[in-house]
Structure 1
């Protein structure tokens, strides 16, 4: 099922790419161990519902030609993200904690607010996720749901793995290991973006 593979690949890239939420996950894990990081890793399951619903509704109302243009734009955007991530991986360092120590419920709420106000999830779902979901839903709803499930399983799962690596032992997540993980996800993202671009350009 190609939609499932797309969801898994995009979820990995989104899960390990540096950003506000990943920094909160690492910070919580460094300060409070795996359980604290785990709560932050699950924030997308709480915060992304309005983002997904609004984006899918908007894209679903567009004509087919506009969705195809959006698919090409989204594919090129993913290629850009992949190349940028792979380049940054050469000198990237694992995120370090900031000045604020996290507190369980307050930290989860903070993560939800950060994620909802972050433009990146909105941009991803408008130009990448929603065109894929809408096109798959038109062919077979099960494929669209597989894409959604694969994306969030790996998105949250990759953050959980990072939280465990940091929380279990401060030296488990070495700079080299982090760079390899980040570089691999960047190359994967670039490949997925190329496939998405071709799918938007080629007739169905």
Structure 2
């Protein structure tokens, strides 16, 4: 169970701090309307990801007894995590888009996250297979631990960055952000290596 909890924490932190459309919106809404507006954007994944997770798990349920298919998905997930690690290592401090005119932060956050391909790619290649593996292995508590840890860090990281954008903006432009992202990038590469190991094992390779 600890393995899935640690995976959720790592992947959630990496996704939460990674530059992208949702993070840019968190910062722009914070600068335009305050930290509360940025916080409303930060919680958007809690509203948009549930149908994505449900559809992904429904598709993967039919593959649960096919080791070869799960092995290939694990290798594809490893490739995705390697890319995320590379992006983390190259990450620059996030910048904001032009401030919005009206405080419709939650709706903007939901639209941005729902229309982004990143949640789909993550849940098909990484998150979904991990949940299935946890459910079939240690059981539902491990799957629940992964999901809880992932979203706690995903949303928590964006809430933290909203606070920084509103109260301690200079820290976002300094070396602290790059240092955190570099550490996360290296940890993601390590996690990708574990996914490769598991994928090869499912394919019957020594």
Query: Please, what TM-score do these two structures have when normalized by structure 1?
Result: 0.91
Instruction: State the distance in 1 between where 2:194 and 2:24 align.
Output: 29
The aligned residue for residue 54 of structure 2 is 53
Alignment deviations for residues 130-176 of structure 1 (CA, whole Å, 9 cap, x no partner): 11100111121110111111100001011111111111133232232
The aligned residue for residue 198 of structure 1 is 197
Which ranges of structure 1 fall in alignment gaps of 5 or more residues? none
Which ranges of structure 2 fall in alignment gaps of 5 or more residues? none
Instruction: State the distance in 2 between where 1:77 and 1:169 align.
Output: 32
C-alpha contact (below 8 Å) 1:33/1:168 kept by paired residues? no
Instruction: State the distance in 2 between where 1:156 and 1:111 align.
Output: 12
The aligned residue for residue 10 of structure 2 is 9
Instruction: State the distance in 1 between where 2:7 and 2:169 align.
Output: 32
Change (3 A) 1:173 1:100: closer
Q: Does 1:111 align with 2:109?
A: yes
Number of residues of Structure 1 aligned to a counterpart in Structure 2: 199
Q: Which residue of 135, 138, 141 corresponds with 1:137? A: 135
Instruction: State the distance in 2 between where 1:37 and 1:181 align.
Output: 21
Runs of 4+ off more than 3 Å: none
Please, what is the CA RMSD of the aligned residues?
A: 1.6
Instruction: State the distance in 1 between where 2:159 and 2:8 align.
Output: 17
Query: Please, what TM-score do these two structures have when normalized by structure 2?
Result: 0.90
C-alpha contact (below 8 Å) 1:51/1:116 kept by paired residues? no
Instruction: State the distance in 2 between where 1:170 and 1:132 align.
Output: 36
How far 1:100 moved relative to its partner?
4.0
